[in-house]
């Protein structure tokens, strides 16, 4: 399977990573296929990762094509100069917009909690006549999410903190709602996508914004709920 290329020049390449694919080799996983290796073989040249998104998350993933570009791009991420926006489907109706300012420990609960801040705004909401939980109907929201920090599983853990669990999250989510989406809509993945990434091109100095491609799972839900199309239910 070829990885969809969103952007390619002499300095960098961006792909649309599918859900379920690791960015690179990890001692915690026995996977034999990774985005880094697959893209290297696809382009026939070495690539350098400059950031990461979780295995379960899909969307825009950026690589450099030389060490100097990798260093320049990594610096932009470290200085929080890169704009990141995600799409997430969550349980319940969120506020129209909000900020989650909640420190996060590592996944094992070790060490001091680290500062973590996530902005969000609600794009759409729906109420279904299905008693999935303890209520006679079930509500869901589509949100645009902008994490200002980059803690592991930050978005998933932050929305759990405000009781708006992400659909398809088998670690921090709600099993009843996950099961409902599997059985009713055929959703077998985490509904979280890195939708947009904006950065300063390290060679030209111009602002470059990269957008994820439409995905069948999102399009199916947008159609079912009557939300705008075509790209991740519009906006942003």
CATH at residue 158: 3.30.2350.10
36 in any annotated domain: yes
Q: What is the residue range of 31's domain?
A: 5-225
Active site residue 54: yes
Consecutive 10-residue averages of pLDDT for the chain (236 residues) = 94 96 70 86 96 94 97 95 97 98 77 91 96 93 95 94 97 95 96 98 96 94 85 63
230 in any annotated domain: no
In the chain, the number of structural domains is 1
Whole-angstrom Cα distance, residue 225 to residue 104?
33
* Selected catalytic residue, list 31, 54, 106, 133: 54
232 in any annotated domain: no
234 in any annotated domain: no
Whole-angstrom Cα distance, residue 17 to residue 208?
19
Instruction: Report pLDDT digits (tens) over 96-125.
Output: 999 999 999 876 556 788 999 999 999 999
């Amino acid at each position: 399977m070829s990885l969809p290329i969103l952007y390619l020049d002499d300095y960098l390449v961006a792909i649309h990573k599918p859900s379920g694919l690791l960015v690179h080799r990890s001692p915690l996983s026995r996977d034999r296929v990774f985005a880094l290796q697959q893209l290297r073989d696809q382009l026939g040249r070495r690539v350098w990762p400059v950031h990461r998104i979780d295995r379960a998350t899909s969307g825009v993933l950026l690589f450099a094509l030389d060490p100097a570009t990798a260093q320049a791009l990594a610096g932009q991420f470290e200085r929080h100069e890169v704009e990141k926006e995600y799409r997430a489907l969550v349980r319940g109706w969120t506020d129209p917009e909000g900020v989650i300012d909640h420190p996060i420990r590592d996944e094992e609960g070790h060490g001091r909690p680290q500062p973590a801040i996530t902005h969000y705004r609600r794009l759409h909401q729906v109420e279904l006549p299905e008693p999935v939980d303890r209520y006679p109907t079930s509500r869901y929201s589509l949100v645009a999410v902008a994490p200002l920090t980059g803690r592991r599983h930050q978005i998933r853990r932050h929305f759990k903190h405000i009781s708006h669990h992400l659909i398809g999250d088998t670690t921090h989510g709600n099993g009843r709602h996950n099961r409902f989406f599997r059985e009713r809509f055929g959703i077998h993945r985490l509904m979280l996508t890195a939708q947009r990434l904006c950065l300063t091109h390290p060679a030209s100095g111009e602002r470059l914004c990269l957008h994820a491609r439409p995905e069948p799972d999102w399009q199916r839900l947008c159609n079912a709920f009557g939300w705008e199309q075509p790209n991740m239910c519009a906006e942003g």
